[in-house]
Amino acid sequence: MKTTTRSRATTIRRPTKHRPASATARPAKRAIEIDANRRLLNNYRYVEHEAMLQLAGWLPRTATFEFKCEMGRSLWEYSQHVNSLYLRLREIQSPAFQKPTDAALVRLVSEMLHAPDEFAFACGLYRVVLPSLISALESHETTTFPNSDQPSVHVIAHALLDLRAQLQRVEPLLIAAEKSGKFTAATRAWERYLRQLLAACGGISGLAKRRPAPALAPAGRVAFIAPREAARDERFTNLLADLGAMPDETQYAAHTVEEFERYSTEMLAAETVALVLFAVRGMPWEFQYDTARHLYDEVRHCLMGYEWMRAHDMDPFQSPQYLHIYKWRSQYPPLMQYCMLTMGNEVHAFPYRHRRVEAHQQSGDKLSEQFVRYDIADETQHVRFGKRWLPELIKHLGEKRSFEQYTADVIKVWEQEYRTGKLTLNVE
C-alpha cells in the first residue's frame, strides 16, 4: 500500500526583531551636546540641592503642620534626585558638583531663602521655581541624545514623577492658605519678585529670552536666620508641657496611648536634624544625603503617631508639643545637637522599643507592633549614621577631643538635663 505525500507550500515567518527604544530613537535635529548637557544637569542639581538645604532651614520655622510635613518629604525627594544627578555628573565632569556660572540663576536660588514668611517661601519654591525646573527637565528628556545620554534621561524621568506629584500635593495647601487670608501683601510681592528673577535668568534652563533683573528686592525681604524656636500653627494648644512620667508599662492601654502620643511629637527630632543639616556646610555629599533621610524618617514617625491616634479617635493636635526641647537643643552647637540625638535619644531607646514590640504582640495589637518595628529599623540606621558621621564632623568642625571622649562628655549633659527634665536654657 502506497502512501502519497502531498507537498505544501510552507510560509516561514521570521520573528520580528524588537529593538530597544533607545536604539530606534533618533536624536532631535538640535540635540543637546555634551558640554551643554553638563551645564544643564549641573544647574538642575544646583537648584534641587540648594532647595533641599533651604527647606531644612525653613522646616522648624514653618508653623503650618501640612506644609512642614511636605517640606520634609520634598527635601528627601530632592536628595534622591541630587544623588542620581551626582552619580551621572561624575561620569561626565570633574568635580561632579560645580557652582553654576550663570550669576542670574545663582541670584534667583539664593534669594529664595530670604522670603518674608512660610507662604512666600512655599510660593517661591512650588509656584515659581519648580514649574520652571519641570519644564526644563521635560525639554531635556526629549532633546538630549536618546541613546548616548540614556543615563541622564533615566534620572530626569524619575525626578519628574516626584516633582509633578509635589505640585499636586502642595498647590491645594497654597490655595487653602490664600483663601483663609494667610497671604499678605509681602507674600504676593515676594512671588512677583522671584518671577522677575526667574525671567532674568531665562528660566531654570537659561534658554528662554532674558528680561531685565529687578534692581531691588521687595521691602518684605528678611535675611534668613536659622530658628532657635520651633513653630506650630493655631491648632496646637499645648506647646510648653513638661515631659512627665508615662503610665507604668504594666498598664498596657494607658501606656500605649502615651507611647503613640509621643510618637506624634517626633517632629521635634526632625526639626533638630534639619537645623544640623542647614548649619553644617562643607561636609561630603553623603553626609547630607544620609541626614536628609534621617530627617524624613522623623517626619514619618510623627505622622505614624497621627495615624495611630486618629485610628483610636484621638485628636493629635491636642498632643503636648514639648517645644522647649527643640529650644534647649538648638542653643548648643550643631555637632552637640547631632550627638545628643543619635548617641543619646536614639541609642538608648532600643531596650524600651523591644519591650513594646513584645507587649503589643502579647496583646494582639498588630498595628502598634508593626509601627514600633518600623521605628526600630529606622532608629538602627540613625545610630549607624551617628557612628559614621560624628567622627567626620568632629574633624570638620575642629573639635579636639576624640569621638569617644566627646561622646562621653555630651552624654553626661544629656543624662543630667534631658533625662531628668531639668533643661537649662540660654546656655551660650
pLDDT digits (tens, 9 = 90+) for 305-343: 999 999 999 999 999 999 999 999 999 999 999 999 999
pLDDT at 116 over 50: yes
Nearest to 297 by CA among 227, 411, 376: 376
Multiple choice CATH, 31-200, 3.60.20.10, 1.10.510.10, 3.10.400.10, 1.20.1260.10: 1.20.1260.10
Q: Taking residues 278-287, report their average pLDDT.
A: 96
Tell me the CATH class for 252-418.
Answer: mainly alpha
C-alpha cell read off for 212: 531685565
Name the residue ranges covered by the structural domains of the chain.
Answer: 31-200, 252-418
CATH topology identical between 31-200 and 252-418 = yes
pLDDT at residue 245, rounded to an integer: 83
C-alpha cell read off for 77: 525627594
Q: Taking residues 188-216, report their average pLDDT.
A: 96
What does the pLDDT look like over 340-351, one tens digit per residue? 999 999 999 999
pLDDT at 20 over 80: no
Q: How far is the C-alpha of 33 from the C-alpha of 39, rounded, in Å?
A: 10
Q: How far is the C-alpha of 21 from the C-alpha of 142, rounded, in Å?
A: 13
pLDDT at 47 over 60: yes
pLDDT at residue 30, rounded to an integer: 73
Burial (CB count within 10 angstroms: exposed 0-12, middle 13-18, buried 19+), residue 20? exposed
Q: How far is the C-alpha of 230 from the C-alpha of 321, rounded, in Å?
A: 10
How sure is the predictor about 27, in pLDDT bands with cuts at 50, 70 and 90? low
Burial (CB count within 10 angstroms: exposed 0-12, middle 13-18, buried 19+), residue 128? buried
pLDDT at residue 3, rounded to an integer: 43
